[in-house]
Structure 1
Amino acid sequence: MGLEVRDVTVRFGGHTALDNISLRALNGQITGLIGPNGAGKTTMFNVITGLQAPHAGKVELDGRDISKLAPYKRARRGMARTFQRLELFGSLTVRENIHVAAAQFKRRHRTAERAAPTTEKLIERLNLGAIAEVRADSLPTGQGRMVELARSLACRPRVLLLDEPASGQDESETADFSRVLREVADEGVAVLLVEHDMDLVMSVCDELHVLDFGKKLAQGTCAQIQADPAVRAAYLGEVDDDLDPAVLADPDDALGVSR
């Protein structure tokens, strides 16, 4: 199963940020949530994680309605999230950041596995060994994103929500990130990805949902979305019949797909 959002509406005063939006992120798949600036992507993440109460609609996790649960209770049920801004413990090292998350998971779920081996496995998996003893507040953004991912994985998520996780990464870091995301999905986790790097989105996502001004513009495979005239119009401002749909995969085009 996985994550299911049904008919969600969010209003801020007279502005409708999300207008009757439904989407799903299935176990074992990477689902992309994309759209131009102000489309409502981060608002949707806030609804899913319980930081924003919707005016209508509901959120389900593995078929159970979690719409009334507090954020920490959703986390305990297997929901993990990263944010646009780095949210690391700056005074702790990379190893300590990951160990804190692993220890919290062990305590809450009373597992037999110790936190230290879990931490070391994640450091190796995400190629963080060279910076394991470095304080988090001294890391460049790209490396910090990898630490955030490791910390999220230490919580053994069933649903992993990533808000612009490749921001600040270089080509090598993005390649490592893509590899780990694919591995995580193949292990049965539902991954929901908001990202402005269209090369990354088109290379890893199994399905895409496109928002524009709070409305669902399109849903489909990467190939279907690339060829959709409405999506091309939303991103580029007009539809050119001679435009190669592959232009959507070029992050240097007018695709500033941040929130």
Structure 2
Amino acid sequence: MGLEVTDVTVKFGGHTALDNVSLRALNGQITGLIGPNGAGKTTMFNVITGLQAPHRGKVMLDGRDISKLPPYRRARRGMARTFQRLELFGSLTVRENIHVAAAQYRRRHPSAERAGAATGQLVERLNLGHIAEVRADQLPTGQGRMVELARALACRPRILLLDEPASGQDEAETVEFSRVLREVATEGVAVLLVEHDMDLVMSVCDELHVLDFGKKLAQGTCQEIQADPAVRAAYLGEADEELVESA
């Protein structure tokens, strides 16, 4: 199973941000949600996580309707998210940021591994040892993205939503990020990725959903999306060239 969103519509005044959009993100796969700026991608994330109530539509997680649940209850059911803007605890170290999430998880699941041990494993898994004692507000954006991912993984999510996680990363950091995402998916987690880095998207995603002006433009494998003339027409200039170069 995984995440399934059906017929979601969101309106802001006279503007329709999402128009009858459906998508899925299956367990064990990385699903991409792409589209030009203003296409409605972040609005969809807000609907999925409960931050935005849709005018109509339904959100299902592992076969259960969570459309009416507040964000904290969706999180308790295994939903974790990162944001476009870094949301780290700036006055805490990298290790402490991860430990907060691990401790919260163990509080709800007393039989789980101790927070300190879980934190140490994530620091090692994401190669954060060299910055583990550095305050988060002293990190460059690329490293901060990795810490956000580690903190999300400390919650042991069933569905992981990542909103432009490669923003601010250099090439080496993006390669490392890709490695971790693939590992997470192989463990059975459903990963939903919003990202403008087409090289990253095309290298890690099993399926893509494309939005344009709030409407579902296309759905398919990376190869199918690259060959879709409607998708290519939606990406102008540099973005279109990235799609072509990735084909």
Class of the TM-score when normalised by the shorter of the 2 chains: over 0.9
Cα distance in 2 for partners of 1:31, 1:159 equals 11
1:249 aligns with 2:246: yes
Aligned positions of 1:157-176 closer than 5 A: 157-176=157-176
- Equivalent residue, structure 2, for 1:107: 107
Q: What amino acid does structure 1 have at the position aligned with 2:170?
A: D
Task: Give the conservation status (yes or no) of the 8 Å contact 2:198–2:243.
Answer: no
Cα distance in 1 for partners of 2:243, 2:91 equals 43
- Equivalent residue, structure 2, for 1:77: 77
- Equivalent residue, structure 2, for 1:255: none
CA change 1:115–1:79 in 2 (3 A) is: same
Instruction: Identify unmatched segments of 5+ residues in structure 1.
Output: 238-242, 251-259
What's the TM-score, normalizing by structure 2? 0.97
Cα distance in 2 for partners of 1:222, 1:112 equals 37
Aligned positions of 1:1-259 closer than 5 A: 1-236=1-236, 247=244, 249=246
Task: Give the conservation status (yes or no) of the 8 Å contact 1:227–1:245.
Answer: no
SS across alignment from 2:235 = helix
Cα distance in 1 for partners of 2:199, 2:242 equals 13
Task: Give the conservation status (yes or no) of the 8 Å contact 2:40–2:211.
Answer: yes
Deviation of residue 248 (structure 1)? 5.5
SS across alignment from 1:167 = coil
- Equivalent residue, structure 2, for 1:254: none
RMSD of equivalent CA atoms? 1.4
CA change 1:209–1:178 in 2 (3 A) is: same
SS across alignment from 2:144 = helix
Deviation of residue 108 (structure 1)? 1.3
Deviation of residue 111 (structure 1)? 2.4
Deviation of residue 244 (structure 1)? 8.8
Q: What amino acid does structure 1 have at the position aligned with 2:246?
A: A
CA change 1:106–1:244 in 2 (3 A) is: closer
Cα distance in 2 for partners of 1:244, 1:13 equals 35
TM-superposition CA deviations, 1:137-169 (whole Å, max 9, x none)? 000000000000000000000000000001000
Task: Give the conservation status (yes or no) of the 8 Å contact 1:7–1:22.
Answer: yes
What's the TM-score, normalizing by structure 1? 0.92
Deviation of residue 113 (structure 1)? 1.3
Q: What amino acid does structure 2 have at the position aligned with 1:163?
A: D
CA change 1:126–1:53 in 2 (3 A) is: same
CA change 1:102–1:218 in 2 (3 A) is: same
Task: Give the conservation status (yes or no) of the 8 Å contact 2:199–2:242.
Answer: no
SS across alignment from 1:177 = helix
TM-superposition CA deviations, 1:173-226 (whole Å, max 9, x none)? 101100000000000000000001000000000000000000000000000000
Cα distance in 2 for partners of 1:225, 1:97 equals 37
Deviation of residue 109 (structure 1)? 2.0
SS across alignment from 1:236 = coil
Task: Give the conservation status (yes or no) of the 8 Å contact 2:225–2:231.
Answer: yes
Q: What amino acid does structure 2 have at the position aligned with 1:47?
A: V
